[in-house]
Amino acid sequence: MFKIQKYKVIASLPKELNELRELAYNLYWTWDHEIRNLFRRLDRELWEATRHNPVLLLGNIDQKKLENRAKDEGYLSNLQRARESLEKYLGAKTWYQKQYSENAPFHIAYFSMEYGLTEGLPMYSGGLGVLSADHLKSASDLGIPLVGVGLLYQKGYFNQYLSKDGWQQESYPINDFYNMPIKMERDEQGNPLTITVQILDREIQVYIWRAQVGRVPLYLLDTNCPENIPEDQDITDQLYGGDTELRIKQEIVLGIAGLRALERLGIRPEVCHMNEGHSAFMALERVRLLMKENKLTFAEAQEATRSSNIFTSHTPVPAGIDEFDPSLMDRYLGHYCESLQLSQDQFHSLGGVHLPQSKGQFNMAIFAIHMAGVYNGVSNLHGHVARKMWHYLWPDLPEDEVPIGHITNGIHLPTWISEDMAELFNRYLGPRWFQDPSDKSVWNRIQQIPDEELWRTHERRRERLVAFTRRKLRQQLENSSASPADISIAEEVLDPKVLTIGFARRFAEYKRAKLIFSDLERLLAILNHKDFPVQIIFAGKAHPRDHIGKGVIRDLVNIIRGDEFRHRVIFLEDYDMEIGATLVRGADVWLNTPRRPREASGTSGMKAGINGVLNVSILDGWWDEAYSNNLGWAIGRGEEFDNPEEQDKYDAESLYSLLEQEIVPLFYNRSANGLPREWIRMMKNSIQNLSPVYNTNRMVREYFQTYYYPGLERWRRLSADNMGPIKQLAGWKEKLHQHWNDVKIISAESENGQDIQVGDQIRVKATIDTGSLKPEDLKVEVYYGPLDSDGTIIAGKNVTMQLQKQLKKNQYYYDAVVPCEATGQHGYSVRVFPQQNEIDKPSDTGLITWYSA
């Protein structure tokens, strides 16, 4: 084999257009319409062909077109304005600088398996990746000192096309990193910056690439290095591809190599956020570094790092969590655990292998929980579901006290709003709708927008959606070698004046894409109504190994191929961010039909909401807390049936009734000048009420104020004085575990009788034997509340008992007053937790003693 010398060719830009290159490499353009339009104006067809990739566009555009633009004064003026806009954005004083100006510099590291920044960077499969990208964008807007870490996939997620029988097929185009808006990190000599990580008996090399997201750098790891054997080069080949061995390799690279990459770049994060359990091995590397540098034990280093580790779960079902066979964990991480002085059993227990619910598997979510200080779900309902799902990890706590919180997801409004709607908001709301999107007073001005303007803006979006759908449908028919007659039909499908329903998401079985097809006769009557017709546009992918999801797509596609459907229902192939954005910007109704409570959050309905599209959804995920009858519709009332067929039948009936009796009549109920006044009123209510809450500006600020900054403060306290506080805390916890069984509640009783009036109080007294521990090590509580039919306390509350006196050696008398606030049968018990200043939650140690005499 002859040797090939490599060199990079870049676009030859006229000097007047040099600033286009700078603009292309900062992904700020993904949420700035003016900069995007600069690239689109160079060559509209090529912009579409490159999937909105400005680097590839500049590298392939006809040189004559560039030279013409270099002489175009209007274009150059817009280019100058766009450059100044980016400079102003990067130089502006941010929320973080205003609120935390006195704070010493620090870093938050955000780890995620995927990022949906733009369709031209195919490193995402769906909602998790888009949420991760929106998280970075809002961190940039807020000026929060956050860096992202992920993997750079040679093939990324797959492209989708359908066979003749409607079965999903996958293709994997190779990504050309040198023609993407990312740059390889290099050393002072210009050589690629690399780090190493051990996989089995090999040290593999890992490249580091950077995508600049406004103010936030996103570092992407790539194992496709010539020094690696082909098997190792392929580790970062596909997102969610391969078998469990490939998955564990990817997660080692993401977590361990990810933290090492930051170290190599001179970044030592004080706070680390694991977005799902894929990156949880990061916590091991963080422990290893601390043990090595500070001569700590594993327990001490774990205690120190978990104080500022955050774990966010996005799945409401155990099946959605990565699990590995313990033998596989030993094979890939046994050597690593030896360096941490961890025995095999100790390591396995961190992943819950010993728990019956884990069925002998190493569970990455349980591991992340053990290595983090705080954990959260992604909606209010998901918080409840997560506490129920993980209750067995805290078996002695009431379910509602399981220490899993929630921060409801949001969307990055500037990314997902249509250009037309953004211009309308600029006119009537001013710039604060995107500068401070959580300010509700700004959104109250929505009511000032004239109905005519809002409706005409929305109608333009629907017209563009129909044109886009026809164009895409024609392309997919041509690609499938359809007949000229079939291809010509693409020009006639849909009607830009008809009520349009959008449905686009991952085709998992629980999302029930076929629910609306439960009664074909009834659906056809709705679609083909003589005066009030309806049309639906579907898009979505199933995971390559999800044959049930693929079957749903096949069944749906074969239904809509019938003559009675083909003009009213369309399935668009190869769902990506462009298709998703076009749908949420142009539909009238956004349909969501998951089987409750399987949707952890969902964000597509939020994207629809900012564009004035009305949600029609099961009360699941975010819609369960957002729904109000003046801004959208709920399918059912949150009922959950044990029988899935019964559930589907009930929900389908509810959906049909809504369409027939409320949604369709409201849309077509027009005033004398042709405006659907009541529909517009709901659009305004939806925008006004949803936009200030369900956005990532609010979400990221909530993460910062609730988790990031408290984690930083705790980290700084514990790591002071050569880690003295953390050694003390770890020693105290070790003593607790050794002597906790000595703690006993000898007695617990109340002074009052059985019948007590509302407004009275009862005094509860308890005698506690502290054993080898001191009273200051303990927190004694009364847990009280109404009783259900089984005699179990529901909606329990607690009050701290006060130490009154010492009775004899190791025995102490406590009491507390419990208010009687409602009638009915009530009960109480007494419990003891460990207590220490550095314990945020009494349940942090997992130790609790209840009165059981």
Distance between CA atoms of residues 27 and 25, nearest Å: 6
In three-state secondary structure terms, 342 is coil
Distance between CA atoms of residues 513 and 769, nearest Å: 59
Identify the residue whose tokens are 């998992």.
508
Distance between CA atoms of residues 347 and 354, nearest Å: 11
Distance between CA atoms of residues 734 and 298, nearest Å: 12
In three-state secondary structure terms, 692 is coil
Identify the residue whose tokens are 């009549």.
665
Please, which residues bridge with residue 765 across strands? 749, 815
Which residues of the chain carry a pLDDT beneath 70? 1-11, 753-754
The dihedral built from the CA positions of residue 838, 842, 843 and 845, taken in this order, carries a sign that is positive
In three-state secondary structure terms, 608 is helix
Distance between CA atoms of residues 95 and 701, nearest Å: 9
Please, which residues bridge with residue 826 across strands? 786
Distance between CA atoms of residues 240 and 515, nearest Å: 27
Residue 653, token pair as written in the block: 């009936």
**What pLDDT shows up at residue 843?**
79
Distance between CA atoms of residues 208 and 218, nearest Å: 10
**What pLDDT shows up at residue 625?**
97
Identify the residue whose tokens are 């676009």.
11
Q: What residues contact residue 377 under an 8 Å CB cut-off, 6+ apart?
A: 312, 313, 316, 383, 385, 386, 404, 405, 406, 600
612 phi-psi bin (left φ>0, alpha ψ -120 to 50, beta other):
left
Find the angle CA(771)-CA(774)-CA(776) to the nearest 5 degrees.
145
CA distances from 421 to 145, 417, 424, 426 (A): 31, 7, 5, 9
Distance between CA atoms of residues 538 and 513, nearest Å: 9
Residue 693 and residue 606 in contact, taking contact as beta carbons nearer than 8 Å: no
**What pLDDT shows up at residue 5?**
62
**What pLDDT shows up at residue 693?**
98
Tell me, rounded to whole angstroms, the distance of Cα 32 from its chain centroid: 22
Residue 463, token pair as written in the block: 């017209």
**What pLDDT shows up at residue 754?**
67
The dihedral built from the CA positions of residue 612, 617, 622 and 627, taken in this order, carries a sign that is positive
Backbone angles phi, psi at 74, to 5 degrees: -65, -45
Residue 322 and residue 277 in contact, taking contact as beta carbons nearer than 8 Å: yes
Burial 525-544 (b: 16+ CB within 10 A, else e): ebbeeeeebbbbbbbbbbbb
Distance between CA atoms of residues 114 and 117, nearest Å: 9
The dihedral built from the CA positions of residue 509, 512, 515 and 516, taken in this order, carries a sign that is negative
**What pLDDT shows up at residue 102?**
85
